Structure 1
Amino acid sequence: MSMVLLPTTALALLAWLMIRQLAKLTKKPKLDMPYLDFEDGDNSMQRYLHDAGSILERGYEQYLKEGLPFAMFNYMDASTPMAVIPLKYLEEVRSASTCKLSFNSFLNKSTVAKDIGGPLVTDRVIRVVRQDLNRALNEMIEPIQQACDKVFGILLPPSRDWTPLNGHSLLWPLVSRIMARTFVGPELWDSEEWHAVVSSYFHAGLAASQRVRDGYHPWLRWTAKYFDKDIKAIYAVRRKGEELLKPVIDARIADARNQANGQGPGFNDGVRWLVDAYRAENKPIKAEQIMQDEAFLVGASVHGITVNALSILFDLMDRPESLAEIQAEISQVHAEYGGWTRKSLGALRVMDSFMKESQRLHTPQHCTMQRRALEGYTFKDGLYIPAGTSIFLPSRLLGRDPDVHPDGAKFDAKRWKRMREEGDATKFHFASLQNDMLPWGSGPHACPGRFLVQEVIKIIFIHLVTKYDVKYSEGVESRPPDYLEHTNSIPNIMALLLFKER
């Protein structure tokens, strides 16, 4: 009898221990701050997907402006609320150790990248952008211009008739090729095969990320790769990308050896920088890993630059007087400098101010400075953030706050040009970091690619506004409403525009 009871008792004890452990792992950490939800009682996932901004607005006025944090449902990680904290914690957040408050962990967890086979953000890829890309940026200006010339000529061939095209369909392939030239190199920048890989990876990743995040318990997400069609597509395009990258990687390895022997000028692109990074760390150079690094670099930059440029285009179309000034400035600066370099692009102060004002009012991310607490974290004033909690600082609402920016609801195209003329000329440009505007984050972990974004958008608009007229389709008079998605908003990518050669 005892021989029968023994395994039964052991199984019961094991089950009890597993249940206890599961309860600990799934227990939501308690946040010592007010929790806001929808006051009418409709707190469905769909409501949070499209209307979370209204809770952020209420929390901003009621708590953040008083220096107090609040919590709300986190659509990207339903296991724990998101903590939205006021600006007074900015310095502590940006100086906190990444071992305690981590952006990488926040991004990797919110996108469930590991579970879907997507690219992980690593310190290595961030370092490549911050050091190698920014050091080489002046040399990238000419290839970026060449990409613009070619792609505009294909998508908008010379014509005196109005050509219908939505802005996203123009900007996405253009920016994709610019980023391929920057991060992959001259061999693949105009390859249709490579761009098909990038596009398929991006769209499959978006679909798989949302489906796995919403439909699988965290403990079971590892199983999704066996069932989800988009995850299977991710692995398939990864393999295709590796095949395309292998000869490029081999060429960069040979190039590094040649340079070490004093031969040749060498390649200056993302694959070469990654090869150098792995060599410096004495790690093997594998096509599958470089493919993942490239997927992160190209995917993140293409989406970010495209939505920013489209948003600026809408604002520019609504303000013909600013468009005329920018066109005149482009002609003047080009005549003065004789071409485009980072220095001459920096002289486009009217354009830069317009771009920054558009960014202030239409920041794609409502919150930035995202961090995930890897362990319990206590701020100096005693505010405690439990391990596993994601924290955010307001960006969009801070940028629109009339108590922070005079006439904050008004689009003032020359706001930042005046501030540069009246104060420090090196501040207040599009890629600047400011404590009262946080689209790029702040401190040592601020967006390392913001200077690339700045120069690419300027080159795109130099081509666009000097060679084409643009107008809305019939019946549309001004900027169409943005799409809202949780704590993000993007310009209307489906809005039809009309282009005509000038």
Structure 2
Amino acid sequence: MDFSPYTIGITALVAFLAYKYVNARIQRSKLDAIPTSGPNGIFSSYVTVWRYLLHARTLIEEGCQQHPGTAFKIPTLFGWNVVLNGRDMFEELKRASEGDLSILEMFEDLVHLKYTMSPVIHRNPYHLDVIRTTLTRNIGARFDDVRDEIQAAFSEYIPPQDDWVEPSNIIKTIQNIVVRTSNRFFVGLPLCRNEDWCDLNLKFTINVMVNGSLIGFFPKFLHPLLGRIITNRKSSLRRAVRHLTPILNERFAMEREYGRDWPDKPNDLISWLIDSCAQNGEDWQKGSYEDLTLRVIATNFVAIHTTSQTFTQALFHLAANPQVVEPLREEIKTTVEREGGWSKVAMVQMRLLDSFMKESQRRVGVGAIGTARIAQKDYRFTNGVVIPAGTKVGVATYHFHHDESKYPSPFEFKPTRSGS
């Protein structure tokens, strides 16, 4: 027999294509009960794949028009996605448990955390519990610090001017403000203003998104290799540890001397993470600085990307709708005076500002599909639609947010829409 490299290569390619074909047939058969947007043959579906890459919003809108109030599927480069086009199904999706429809698995599939951050993050994301509980509860307590950093960052990056000033890179400017403000909350002064620390977190966030997407284009058996080749997660972590080591040394020294509730203990993410580990019975005085550091930069990743995009879009909408500037200023001025200063309570009372931000997010959104999950096991909705295990499922959010029955003149930006 001929065992030349050429023959082995051709045989391997044929075997791989055969495997992909059989796998595609199996996956498609599980989804036969769900209608398809566009051609759905093994080969003809790639026409739809191409359309999805170039015109996803249009393709999904067509599916919504063809299949109202239910679900449909679309082929992508990486398999089939099921899109929910019914509000009842949307509510069911939100109520589904992590063990049924997993957001963590979806996030892992999107950015491949085990290769772009660390396998530990995927295995034990305890920092998410800290974000949902302790961090959220302390927003009011840390409000003055956050506001102070917003003022300082704006004064540096967008100083007051008499004339119109056009930033050379608005998203970069907003990211600089967001990373400083977030880290005033996470790690406090002076580290939140350290240029290398801020640069590290900004680049880490971008690298995770870019490298995660790149890894996803290759077969899974290549992911571990690509994770070692194209990511710089280990060097980024070492760089971050150098910044946090002096802080962690001081925190643990004070805890050893005075106990967990030592005098003037900082109320920040580092303390909350250490406390969380102690509550779980782990001896973090002998623990890993790398793990605590990893959780801090992972929390930065969550905060920086979404906040920067949301804030930038809001600024664009403000510039495009100058008629709302004075009403917003008047509401803010009146509310702050009435509530005796800036506070979380005062912010809640700013109805027009809240409506403006909601309308900005409604009008642009984060994509044609949102609230994405991966089915951990076969999941049946009350209307009978079954999502097979391993299938990606999401909601046609752009369609919902531009539904004329719910939002009259949906393509018009109305700053008072949510407050009216």
TM class by shorter chain equals 0.7 to 0.9
Counterpart position of 1:184 = 187
TM-score normalised by length of structure 2: 0.85
Tell me how far apart the structure 2 counterparts of residues 329 and 67 of structure 1 sit (CA, whole Å). 39
Q: CA deviation at 1:333?
A: 1.9
Deviations 1:321-366 (A, max 9, x none): 2111011122222222332101111221111111111122111233
| Shift in alpha-carbon separation, 1:96–1:163, aligned structure 2, 3 A | closer
Tell me how far apart the structure 1 counterparts of residues 100 and 185 of structure 2 sit (CA, whole Å). 33
Counterpart position of 2:381 = 379
TM-score normalised by length of structure 1: 0.72
Assess if the C-alpha contact under 8 Å between 2:39 and 2:48 holds in 1: no
Counterpart position of 1:245 = 244
Counterpart position of 2:395 = 393
- Give the paired residue count: 393
Q: Which runs of 5+ in 1 are unaligned?
A: 1-14, 419-502
| Aligned alpha-carbon RMSD (Å) | 2.9
Matches within 5 A, 1:256-295: 256=255, 260=259, 263-283=262-282, 284=284, 285-295=287-297
Assess if the C-alpha contact under 8 Å between 1:212 and 1:224 holds in 2: yes
Counterpart position of 2:136 = 134
| Shift in alpha-carbon separation, 1:254–1:55, aligned structure 2, 3 A | farther
Tell me how far apart the structure 1 counterparts of residues 129 and 157 of structure 2 sit (CA, whole Å). 34
| Shift in alpha-carbon separation, 1:25–1:244, aligned structure 2, 3 A | farther
1:49 aligns with 2:48: no
Assess if the C-alpha contact under 8 Å between 2:153 and 2:181 holds in 1: no
Q: CA deviation at 1:256?
A: 5.0
309-318 or 26-35, which deviates more: 26-35
356-365 or 168-177, which deviates more: 356-365
Counterpart position of 1:319 = 321
Counterpart position of 1:307 = 309
Aligned AA for 2:237?
A: R
Q: 1:70 aligns to what SS in structure 2?
A: strand
Q: Pick the structure with more helix per residue.
A: 2
Q: CA deviation at 1:113?
A: 1.8
Counterpart position of 1:454 = none
1:61 aligns with 2:60: no
| Shift in alpha-carbon separation, 1:316–1:38, aligned structure 2, 3 A | farther
Tell me how far apart the structure 1 counterparts of residues 38 and 255 of structure 2 sit (CA, whole Å). 56
Matches within 5 A, 1:207-222: 207-214=210-217, 216-222=218-224
Q: 2:365 aligns to what SS in structure 1?
A: coil
Q: CA deviation at 1:162?
A: 3.9
Q: CA deviation at 1:415?
A: 2.1
Q: CA deviation at 1:44?
A: 8.0
Tell me how far apart the structure 2 counterparts of residues 258 and 357 of structure 1 sit (CA, whole Å). 51
Tell me how far apart the structure 2 counterparts of residues 203 and 278 of structure 1 sit (CA, whole Å). 28
Tell me how far apart the structure 2 counterparts of residues 172 and 107 of structure 1 sit (CA, whole Å). 22
Counterpart position of 1:455 = none
Assess if the C-alpha contact under 8 Å between 1:353 and 1:413 holds in 2: yes
Counterpart position of 2:6 = none
Q: CA deviation at 1:83?
A: 0.6
Counterpart position of 2:127 = 125
Kindly, what percent of the aligned residue pairs are identical?
22
Tell me how far apart the structure 2 counterparts of residues 296 and 127 of structure 1 sit (CA, whole Å). 13
322-331 or 202-211, which deviates more: 202-211
Tell me how far apart the structure 1 counterparts of residues 99 and 257 of structure 2 sit (CA, whole Å). 38
Q: CA deviation at 1:123?
A: 4.8
Aligned AA for 2:265?
A: G
Deviations 1:205-261 (A, max 9, x none): 2221122111x2112211113432xx1x22211111122122223333345556746
Tell me how far apart the structure 2 counterparts of residues 43 and 379 of structure 1 sit (CA, whole Å). 29
Q: CA deviation at 1:104?
A: 0.6
Q: CA deviation at 1:395?
A: 1.7
Tell me how far apart the structure 1 counterparts of residues 371 and 416 of structure 2 sit (CA, whole Å). 27
Assess if the C-alpha contact under 8 Å between 2:188 and 2:268 holds in 1: yes
